Structure 1
């Protein structure tokens, strides 16, 4: 493992500098698949009603294609950052490079003139996102002492939520002229371009604050053991592969925390990917873009109420019950869209979902750190855990679009969207059950210190 002193206690300023890049990342990504990408897809298809099975199918497969590249890359970037040497530190070079690629790929998304270029830009966007995210999320356990993990998770959750609010509010403002009766290509292109330019500036500012403001401890690898120097190259590779890529899955807590996040992310991704088309086709909202943004913003208002306080509170109690209850809140809100579309007031559903989302976001990271096999390989292991999100991003849109397409053959397309939200509810319930089985102990490095 790397040799360094335990992290020092963080001040409020330290917490802000360490967490601000979450705001920047979410300022671009939060509205991307729920609002911006579904509208841009309309530019590549013949004119027709918004929310058609053809549009849902294309959205699902484009989302899955963009996420496939993200399945393996995060652990690779995490491992690379675990072992990177240099005056910039282990994590910051990848944060800077990833942010730059995110900005460039976003501009390409804005000007893409064909579906092939659009998908290529989306894949590049995922590469940049994974380079930045995998290294950035490992920067936090590097710099946060154990007794402040809940507080740091609360700051991270708060910055994530504020970034989501800014992203969704900006998208709604720039694309508010799009409706069921008006889907002009010029309006979509202009709004999308402004969205990508503004969020690109926010990304650059956040990356600069992180790269300049965070001081990393130089990487100092321990002396390598000589016991295996006489082994063949193949045997050394096998030992390395098992240690890095197989051993973590043998850890009970790690496997459960992975399954928990996968189930929750499947539910959230199904919900967020198709919510805009749901409002257009099921709820028959004329201003479906604004309806999507309103629900999302109400959810984030609820999230702000729970995120920061519960993150700090989780340093004093068991984190698993908080994550379980928060997931149940999201499941209840999702199920309401299944049984009574258009009947429940949107503000109630939005706030209910948001309270659960805020609590989950603020405590999830701290619980994952508690369950890591070792802090010496946290970049790679954290990225392995994070690949549960990428796996969900691949499967959920493909499964959701297939369900909608299949149902539309035999019944109304609107029924397909309700079935998708029912499946999302089941995944959220599964996540709530998995989390109760976790038996958290101190990570290896903390126990041995």
Structure 2
């Protein structure tokens, strides 16, 4: 097979920057801050858990549905690009309703709408790696995607930390989100060349009816990887849920919390990129499973260092090490998923793969919110967030252990992996 060009790698990666820019800001700073403004400190945990969980459930269902529909789309622009365009444009309209939300119910409604529309774009888009990149180069492609994701995760929270404290800052942040999403969507549409689908195509209603029929038994290694990522993302979203409150209420950095999160994001992104760049090449040559397990172990040890550190300098060291390990994880985890992906319906199964990211957004807050609320009220404000940090490490350890059951494959094979 022909080696992918730079244009190919950019075409399957750049929109991830805009997505990560948006979600990094919303999940870590924008949504927690907005919820606290609306309901106050005492109720913020429970309300944030409800809002993020419902939104993530909508995202999971939408990714599978529109991924499956796009697998058999006959549009002249190809299978994925039409959904990328429509989903992004409609999301732009919904973004400007977010600053106008003055009640929890309005905020929830707008958040659900944004989750639905943006995942109309994201569900089909995430299948571009298996669509466009030969399996021998999935490691390199995933590294490119990982770099864009890491850059977005630093850019979004950084922009949010600068704008949220200013007058009409939330509105201008939505303007920035809209510009980034649409600019990178147009760039991706230009970079990616898709041919119209020529295989058997069911009717729209047949595609919808079959979208949630996803056989997993023939693909045990794909299932084990799914479970591993699900556990690890449970840890990530537990930390995302409580990081702002952990810094404010547990460690006492109320005024410095936004700046500390920004510093953490910058440091972890720099070290993450340093980890991602070689990881992609190594994943194309050596065992993806082994590299993935080592990266998870590094992240686990760094996370424990963050949790038990009493000196801010040690915290920064732990964050830097975690960033490098997570950069490797980002590249290799996606490469291994593409390696194990069933070929007959890549976007549908990528939608299932996406559940390992979105389902923890539902479950983690539902667990974290009541745990934090209960411990904070019984022991003292801030104690609950330390428990959540420890719980996140437990999730990560489980995800690391599960990797041992995965079997890699040497080339495209339809079943048995």
Superposed pair shares fold, TM > 0.5: yes
Residue 182 of structure 1 corresponds to which residue in structure 2? none
Gaps of 5+ in 2: none
- Which structure would you say has the larger Rg? 1
Residue 73 of structure 2 corresponds to which residue in structure 1? 84
Are 1:207 and 2:185 counterparts?
A: yes
Aligned-partner Cα distance in 2 for 1:300–1:446:
37
Residue 319 of structure 1 corresponds to which residue in structure 2? 288
Q: Secondary structure at the match of 1:355?
A: helix
CA gap of 1:218–1:117, structure 2 versus 1, over 3 A, is: same
Residue 233 of structure 1 corresponds to which residue in structure 2? none
* Displacement after TM superposition at 1:368 (Å): 0.2
Residue 363 of structure 1 corresponds to which residue in structure 2? 332
Residue 302 of structure 1 corresponds to which residue in structure 2? 271
Are 1:108 and 2:97 counterparts?
A: yes
Which runs of structure 2 are paired with 1:369-380 in the superposition (5 Å)? 369-372=338-341, 374-380=342-348
| Contact 1:24/1:203 (8 A) holds in 2 | yes
Residue 191 of structure 1 corresponds to which residue in structure 2? 169
Residue 45 of structure 2 corresponds to which residue in structure 1? 56
Aligned-partner Cα distance in 1 for 2:308–2:404:
27
Aligned-partner Cα distance in 1 for 2:403–2:87:
32
Residue 149 of structure 1 corresponds to which residue in structure 2? 138
Deviations 1:307-341 (A, max 9, x none): 12211221000111211122222222332343345
Aligned-partner Cα distance in 1 for 2:149–2:376:
36
Residue 261 of structure 2 corresponds to which residue in structure 1? 292
Residue 17 of structure 2 corresponds to which residue in structure 1? 23
CA gap of 1:53–1:332, structure 2 versus 1, over 3 A, is: farther
Which runs of structure 2 are paired with 1:148-167 in the superposition (5 Å)? 148-167=137-156
Segments of 4+ in structure 1 off by > 4 A?
341-344
Aligned-partner Cα distance in 1 for 2:155–2:56:
23
Task: Quote the RMSD (CA, aligned, Å).
Answer: 2.2
- Paired residues in the alignment total 409
* Displacement after TM superposition at 1:244 (Å): 6.8
| Contact 2:60/2:351 (8 A) holds in 1 | no
CA gap of 1:331–1:102, structure 2 versus 1, over 3 A, is: farther
* Displacement after TM superposition at 1:445 (Å): 5.5
Aligned-partner Cα distance in 1 for 2:226–2:201:
32
Gaps of 5+ in 1: 1-5, 47-51, 178-186, 225-236
Q: Secondary structure at the match of 2:111?
A: helix
Aligned-partner Cα distance in 2 for 1:61–1:78:
26
Are 1:173 and 2:162 counterparts?
A: yes
- Which of 366, 369, 374 lines up with 1:398 in the alignment? 366
Aligned-partner Cα distance in 2 for 1:250–1:375:
12
